[in-house]
Amino acid sequence: MASVPIAGGRFIIIGGGSLVGSATAAELLDAGAAEVRLFDNFSMGAESAVAHLKDNPRLRIIRGDVMRMGDLLQAMEGMDGALLLAAYMTLNMDRDPWGGLDVNIRGVQNALEAAVTRGVKKVVFASSNATYGYGPGIKGDLVEATPFFSEGAPPAAIIYGATKIIGEQLCRTYTQKRGLPHVVLRYSTVYGERQHHRAANALYIIETLEKLKKGEPPEIFGDGSETKHFVYVGDLARANRMAFESAASNVAVNCSGPTPVTTKELVALVTDLAGGGPAPTFVGDTPGKVRLTSGGAFRIAHEKAYEAIGWKPQVDMREGLGRLIAWLQGNEPTH
Ligand SMILES: NC(=O)c1ccc[n+]([C@@H]2O[C@H](COP(=O)([O-])OP(=O)(O)OC[C@H]3O[C@@H](n4cnc5c(N)ncnc54)[C@H](O)[C@@H]3O)[C@@H](O)[C@H]2O)c1
């Protein structure tokens, strides 16, 4: 039985000092976890991202590195569940592919090995819709069996997607050969409170808001018909919790928001929620900037997540963007 109850359980979030980790820690603590450990080297995450949780006596922040087995073995002692988040996404992979390959591949292998050694009962692995790739092949419903498209995508995006495919297969290997149950959740672009600047598509929301704040017109690439499919961070925190609670193992499912939006719709929504602003300008590509494009209208189908772990998204973009904007008004985005 692969189910790990939250109440009274002990959990570690590897790479937990950031957007998804902080929301998930709050979710697990609210559901009665006896202990939540946030393990992070804070190379990208920030103490400020977890400051709101710091005084909770059931939360422990552990400075450690996934490239150091000793750190992982010590931190995993006594844990029932481990959520693996530490990763370089596309923008960081573009700057430092060497470090990205280390963390996204060997770091995952190290964490799985430490989890088995310490008798952890279940692992949840944060994968990504990057496992479907980018570019002209991406259109229609993306389901878990959709293959990887890479033609026309930036190299860093392909490398990132490929590392997530490898991470998923390492999880399957540890389930098959070492008996460690796992669930893979393929997140679509995350947005919400404690938003950072590391995800290309979510960064676009922040850039649009910043332009509007300065009274400048938001920029839309192309004709604005390009699709983006986001997921609200609180919905993902719930998905992570439910993946531990469910009996599911050895399965990979998509986690996306209720519906996709076009860039034009997104900019209109952000402008409306920001209290109005100038009409957008339509621009061409910025040289040197990593952009993630798709070939046509697409939707990341999340029905299988409901079958496997009982999850479906609850927060639509208007609601979630409203929460992000309210949070930004009191805080700077965490780098
Ligand atoms: N944010 C998104 O839009 C998005 C979309 C799809 C999938 N994902 C995946 O979800 C996960 C979490 O996303 P996020 O936005 O919270 O990520 P993030 O970049 O904010 O967090 C990753 C954390 O890992 C930590 N880390 C990096 N290298 C480390 C190392 N060597 N040892 C220990 N910790 C290390 C960083 O300091 C950071 O706090 C990642 O695996 C990411 O690939 C994110």
The string of pLDDT tens digits covering residues 203-249 is: 999 999 999 999 999 999 888 999 999 999 999 999 999 999 999 99
Q: Is the CB of 15 under 6 A from ligand 1?
A: yes
pLDDT of residue 70: 98
Q: Is 1's pLDDT higher than 80?
A: no
CA of 14 to the centre of ligand 1 (A): 9
Interval between CA 198 and ligand 1 midpoint (Å)? 9
Q: Are 115 and 84 in contact (CB under 8 A)?
A: no
Inform me whether the pLDDT recorded for 334 exceeds 70: no
Tokens of 218: 């938001």
DSSP 217-271: PPEEETTS--EE-EEEHHHHHHHHHHHHHSS--SEEEEE--SS-EEHHHHHHHHH
Separation of 100 CA from ligand 1 center, angstroms? 11
Instruction: Please indicate whether residue 189, judged by its CB atom, sits closer than 6 Å to ligand 1.
Output: yes
- 135: pLDDT strictly greater than 90: no
Which is nearest to 22 in space by CA: 55, 43, 47, 58?
Answer: 47
Note the CATH architecture for domain 10-192+230-259+299-315. Answer: 3-Layer(aba) Sandwich (3.40)
What burial letters (b/e) apply to 307-332, b meaning 16+ CB within 10 Å? ebbebebebebeebbebbeeebeeee
Looking at residue 333, its pLDDT comes to 65
**Angle at alpha carbon of residue 234, lines to 209 and 17, rounded to 5°:** 85
Work out the widest C-alpha separation in the chain, in whole angstroms.
58
pLDDT value at position 285? 72
Q: For the chain, give the percent of residues with pLDDT over 70.
A: 99
Ligand 1 in contact with 128 (CB < 6 A)? yes
102 CA closest ligand 1 atom index: 31
pLDDT in tens, 3-49: 999 999 999 999 999 999 999 999 999 999 999 999 999 999 888 88
Global confidence as pTM? 0.96
Q: In sequence order, what are the residues at sequence separation of 6 or more whose Cβ sits closer than 8 angstroms to the Cβ of residue 176?
A: 250
- Taking 90 as the threshold, does the pLDDT of residue 191 lie above it? yes
Residue 45 to residue 48: CA distance in whole angstroms: 8
Range from 60-64, 285-289, 319-323 carrying the lowest mean pLDDT? 285-289
Domain layout of the chain by residue ranges:
10-192+230-259+299-315
Non-local (6+) Cβ contacts of 76 within 8 A are 12, 82, 114, 115, 117, 118, 120
